[in-house]
Structures are given as C-alpha cells and as structure tokens.
Structure 1
Amino acid sequence: MEWLTLALSIACGGLVGFSLALTGGGGSTLAVPLLLYVVGMGDVHLAIGTSALAVSLNAYANLIPYARAGHVRWKPAIIFSALGIVGASVGAEIGQMVNGRQLVGLFAVLVLFVAMMMFKPRVQGAAGDTEPPGRWMALRLSGTGLGTGAVAGFFGVGGGFLVVPGLIFSARMPMIDAIGTSLFGVGSFGLTTGLHYAWSGLIDWSVAGLFIAGGIAGGWAGASVAGRLASRRGVLHQIFAGLLFTVGIYMLVRTYLL
C-alpha cells in the first residue's frame, strides 16, 4: 500500500470517527464517499463493506467513554438493536444485488436526505425524562430499530442519523444519552452489514484496519469535547450538514453527468 493511501485512510477514518462521536450521525454516511473519492477505492460494494465494518468497530470504541460517563441506556439500546440486526441482514443482502452505479445514485440521495435532516433542529429530550422499558416503549423501539437497521444494511451505514431521533422518540431520552446509546445500534448494524459483505469477499481488510485506527483516535477526541460543545452542537450540525450536501451533489454529478 502506498504511503499516500495509508495516510488518507487514517485521516478519513479520523474524520468519520470524530463526527460519529460528536454528533451521533452523519459521519458514517460520509465514509463511503470518502473511500470512493478520496482513498480511491474503485468498487462501490467493496467501499460499502469496508466502511460498514470500520464504522461498526469505531462506534463500539466510541461507546466506551459515553458508557463511563453514564450516557448509555443499555436496555433501550439492546431492544432497539435486536430487531435492527434483522433489518440490517435483509438490507445488506438486497444492497449487494443492486447495480453499483444505481447504488451510488441512491446513496447520493441518502446523503442529501441526511444533510437536510441535520439542517433541521433536533428535538431535545429532557434530562431524566427516560421512560422505563415498558411494553409500548419496547414496541416503539423494536419497530424503529427494524426500519433503521434495514436502511443501514442496504446502504452500509451505521444509521446514526436515524438512530438518535429514533431513540429520542421511542424512549424519550435526552440528547446526550441518545447519542451515547445510538453508538451501540450503529455498531451492531454496521457489524451485521460488514459480516454479510465479508462473506462475499467485499472488504478491503488493510484499508479497513487503517480506517478503524484513525476512527478510534478521532472518535475519542470527539467524545471528549461532546459535553463541552453542547451549546454549540447546533452550529456543528449546520456545518457538517453543508459538507454532506456538497458531497451528495458531487456524487450525483459524478455518477450521472461525468
């Protein structure tokens, strides 16, 4: 592997990990275009498989500082992820059957959708407003997890942009807890997707390792400043949403016009 590819893989992983830990979503959506257009990976399905595995392990690593700070709600996380894993398995199998060019086009639309969601202000949960995991909350968590997992598996993303609002809606938890808890779902969905792609030989293990190394460093940095930047996180979301919007447009233009 050339030194430039090595450096770009680590740097791109760091950017994804930092965003994932700081905002709980959007970073994993950026992983595939980074692998395609910055690292230079030519196969779309290979990029999706590699990013899914890398993002999953980054999410699990970034979960640790949130758990230590008491910002992970384990029961909702497990309920949400249980059916989400089923959805991710189905989505990953369908995604592998889609033509690469069509998949990039659909992925570009997803990136634009995520950007628009990040432009909108998020609904904040109140501190201490988490419900005990009763029957109705479990049903809400399971249904939202199933749909989120299917989207995550199809596109090879962690789905944090859906997991965070899904947890706030389903379990009425505060934002900082939703971000920390979401990392368990992101890791579970990404690992499920990554294993399906690995079974088909669609993972570049060397790039994945570098991406993970950069992502862990970036993720721990993001987690360390998450609490301090709570009042400015809205601005960070706006900036990152603008970046995603630009990436989405670029992907559409490159796929259909160039």
Structure 2
Amino acid sequence: MILAAALAIMVGLTLGLLGGGGSILMVPVLVYGLGLPAKTAIAASLLVVAATSLVALIPHARSGNVHGRTGFLFGAAGMAGAFGGGRIGVHLPPTLLLLAFALVMLGTAFALLRPRSENAPTTSVNGPHAGVGLILVEGTVVGLVAGMVGAGGGFLVVPALALLGGLPMSRAVGTSLLVISLQSLAGFAGYAGHVELPWAVLGVVILFSSVGALLGHRLHGRVPERALRRLFGYFVVGMGLFVLSRQVPAEVQASPMYQAVFVARWPFWAAGAALSAVVLVMLWRDNRLVGVSTGCAELCRLPSDPTVRTSWRPRFLLGIVLGGAASGLFAGRGPTWALGSFDALVGGSSLLKVSVLVLAGVLIGFGARAAGGCTSGHGIVGMAQGARSSLMATLAFMIGGFATTWLVLPH
C-alpha cells in the first residue's frame, strides 16, 4: 500500500504539472501495486483520474488557465465518446486497444517535439482558432479511445488543444483537466455495473493523487512553456514505448526476427555498420559531429550558457538513454553490468560498487576532456574524417584498454 500511495502521488503530480499522462500510470498502479483485476483497474482508474483532475482544475481555474468554451465543447464530445468507449471496451481484448493506444502516443509525441516552422501560425491567447465541428470530432475520438482503455486521454487532449485548438501550452494544460474530468466520469459510467470496486482503497488512492496534483500545479507555474512542451513530449515517448513493449503478442516475441533484433546480442559487424551509418548520415546531412563526451561537456555548461538549451547534443544524449531503455523493455531484461564481469571483479557491498563506478566516470570524463574527445568522437567521427589526432587518440585508447584488460582479468 505504501508503494501504491507513492505512485498515486506521482500520478497526481503528472496531472497537475503536465495536464495528462497520469492515467497511464494509474492502471499499472492498481493492477501491480494493489492487485486489482484488469477490468476493475480500468474502471477504477477512470474514477481516480476524474477526481484528481477536478482537484487539479481548481488552482488552474483561479489562475485563469482554463478556457471554458473550448473545455466544455471538447469535454461534452469526449463524454459521449468515453461512455461509448467504456461500453465497447468491456467486450474487446485490451491488447489490441493498447497497441493502437501506444502508437497514437508516439505519433502525438512526434508532433510535440517536431520543431515549429517559422511560418506556422502562433497560438492565440484569447481562444482557439479551430471550429466547433473540429473540436467536437476531436473530443469524440479522444473520448472513445480514453474510455475503452481506462485513460484520461490527457496525452491526446493537451496536444489537440495546443496544436489544433490554438491555446498556449499553459492554458491547454489547465483546460485539459476540465476535459479529462468530464470524459473520465463518462467512461467510468460506461463500466459501471460491470465491475465491483474496492471503495475504501480508492478513497486512499484519490487522497494521495490529489496531494500530488496540487503540488504539480505549484511547479507548473515555474516551468517555461517551451520546456513544458518538450517535457511532455519526452514523457509521452517514454510512456508509449513502455505500453508498446508490454503489449507485444507472445507469438511475435517468440519469432526468430524479434529474438534476433531485440533479445540476442547483435554481431560486431552489424553494430559497427549501424553506428557508422548514423555517424555518416549526421555528418553528411547536417554536418554534425557525433560525440558523447562533447554533449556531456555542453550539459555541464547548462547553468551558465542559455544556448545549450537549443543545442542538439543534449537531445542526442537523451535519445541514447531512451534507446537503451527501449532495448531493455523489448528484450525483457535490464542492464547486464558488462555481461556479469563487473560483479565478478568488484565484489562486496553496493556502496563499494557505486564508488568504483563514480571513480571510473571521473577518470573517463577527465581523459575525454584531456584528449579533446572520447572513443565515439575520435574513434568513429575523427577516424571517418581521417584526422591524425583522432588516429593517435584511438591508438592510445586501444593500448590502454588492452593493458587494463591484461592487468585486471585473470589469464
């Protein structure tokens, strides 16, 4: 119950800060944290998200971040769609719905993270530029999807309000809470009578998620709109990959192609070809020199250099992290710690292992700065350009690596 309460606070924090996404977390909390059946968890999630959204809506409304006309139009259409979605969802397999759900999330994230064109219309502070018909259609579709799978639909509502409705991100977040509360209640009504709910447990979950929602609102006003947009986009990417990885059919996971791509380790020649293709494409298309240590050095300048926020390198590093996380999710396993050799070489407590890792990171960072680049910068990009300095640096890297391996590993 303690873990479920902590995760409920996180759900509310997400709703209050981003205007959505928390409902995606709520179903796993109820299923894996509290052990509720799937259909019960879906119905309960709709009720919890509706109550939490209403709590989060109050401070946003006081701050003037709720556009009533758009919210009620979108919400009314969403209620109709969510009620119908709840009725349909009782009879459909959740795997198929969640697969489509994850693909929509990834498409939404792409739209949010894509750089805006200079000629693109700016959002209106006074109201939406979309017609009533378009708002009703959007609301019905979003409500239908949200009602079927037990999500509030905020990850769809916020982009729709911001990208198509013409609302600034701050008002889109506040207005989305009104929409989410309305359509979540309607979706819950669609499931009502088909499941039995543990009301005492739900009361505790709603309490903790409401606390998180109020905290999220206080943080919301301190985050710039552009940063909030990116944060929401990356959040949706992570959630989409998580949902997608959990809904891959067993027969697909057992196929040789899936095993070769996601589970088995790639042969050295395939990994090398993939790395070289990425490096050469970025060098040829955008004249960008790929380097991990250079990106880390830029991140260190973030507090004092505002231009780092617009640089591509931090996003490149984030992509590496997301790619590794996606690989682990689809493979069904976590990090192997250097194929188990780290645990074999460094025994003892976790504190000792963490200390060794921190020391290794400091040495790698110092060496990369002293050499003007790391193994990726010199060994891949520099060698591709035929730079003599990169040739010497790569030779030194290899000699040092072979020497360390000979000294550390038994032979």
**d(CA) in 2 for partners of 1:255 and 1:16?**
29
**d(CA) in 1 for partners of 2:41 and 2:144?**
18
* Deviation string, structure 1 residues 32-77 (Cα, Å, up to 9, x no partner): 1222223322x11001001010001100110001001000011111
Aligned to 1:3: none
- Alignment size in residue pairs: 246
**d(CA) in 2 for partners of 1:72 and 1:172?**
13
Q: State whether residues 81 and 188 of structure 1, in contact with CA within 8 Å, keep that contact through their aligned partners in structure 2.
A: yes
Aligned to 2:228: 233
Aligned to 1:146: 140
Aligned to 1:22: 17
- Judged with a 3 Å threshold, the aligned counterparts in structure 2 of structure 1 residues 209 and 125 are, in CA distance, closer, same or farther, namely farther
Partner letter of residue 142 of structure 2?
A: T
Confirm or deny that 1:31 pairs with 2:26. Answer: yes
* Deviation string, structure 1 residues 155-182 (Cα, Å, up to 9, x no partner): 1111111111222344311111011001
Partner letter of residue 126 of structure 1?
A: T
**d(CA) in 2 for partners of 1:184 and 1:77?**
6
Aligned to 2:218: 224
- Aligned partner (choices 46, 52, 65) of residue 46 of structure 2: 52
Aligned to 2:125: 128
- How large is the RMSD of aligned CA atoms in angstroms? 2.6
Structure with higher RCO (Cα < 8 A, 6+ apart): 1
The structural deviation recorded for 1:229 is 1.5
- Aligned partner (choices 167, 172, 175) of residue 166 of structure 2: 172
Q: State whether residues 119 and 241 of structure 1, in contact with CA within 8 Å, keep that contact through their aligned partners in structure 2.
A: no
Aligned to 1:89: 83
Identity %: 31
Aligned partner of residue 45 in structure 2, secondary structure: helix
For 1:188-207, list aligned pairs within 5 A: 188-207=182-201
The structural deviation recorded for 1:8 is 2.6
Q: Greater helix share, 1 or 2?
A: 1
Aligned partner of residue 97 in structure 1, secondary structure: coil
Q: State whether residues 45 and 202 of structure 1, in contact with CA within 8 Å, keep that contact through their aligned partners in structure 2.
A: no
Partner letter of residue 54 of structure 1?
A: V
Aligned partner of residue 199 in structure 1, secondary structure: coil
**d(CA) in 2 for partners of 1:161 and 1:85?**
16
Larger Rg: 2
- Aligned partner (choices 151, 156, 159) of residue 157 of structure 1: 151
**d(CA) in 1 for partners of 2:242 and 2:30?**
12
- Aligned partner (choices 6, 12, 24) of residue 11 of structure 1: 6
**d(CA) in 2 for partners of 1:48 and 1:104?**
13
- Judged with a 3 Å threshold, the aligned counterparts in structure 2 of structure 1 residues 169 and 250 are, in CA distance, closer, same or farther, namely closer
Task: Give the unaligned 5+ runs of structure 1.
Answer: 1-5
Partner letter of residue 33 of structure 1?
A: P
For 1:101-112, list aligned pairs within 5 A: 102-104=93-95, 106-111=97-102
**d(CA) in 1 for partners of 2:34 and 2:249?**
16
Task: Give the unaligned 5+ runs of structure 2.
Answer: 255-411
Q: State whether residues 49 and 202 of structure 1, in contact with CA within 8 Å, keep that contact through their aligned partners in structure 2.
A: no
TM-score (norm 2): 0.55
Aligned to 1:72: 66
**d(CA) in 2 for partners of 1:93 and 1:237?**
30
* Deviation string, structure 1 residues 122-150 (Cα, Å, up to 9, x no partner): 57953525248xxx622121111111111
Confirm or deny that 1:215 pairs with 2:209. Answer: yes
**d(CA) in 2 for partners of 1:234 and 1:82?**
26
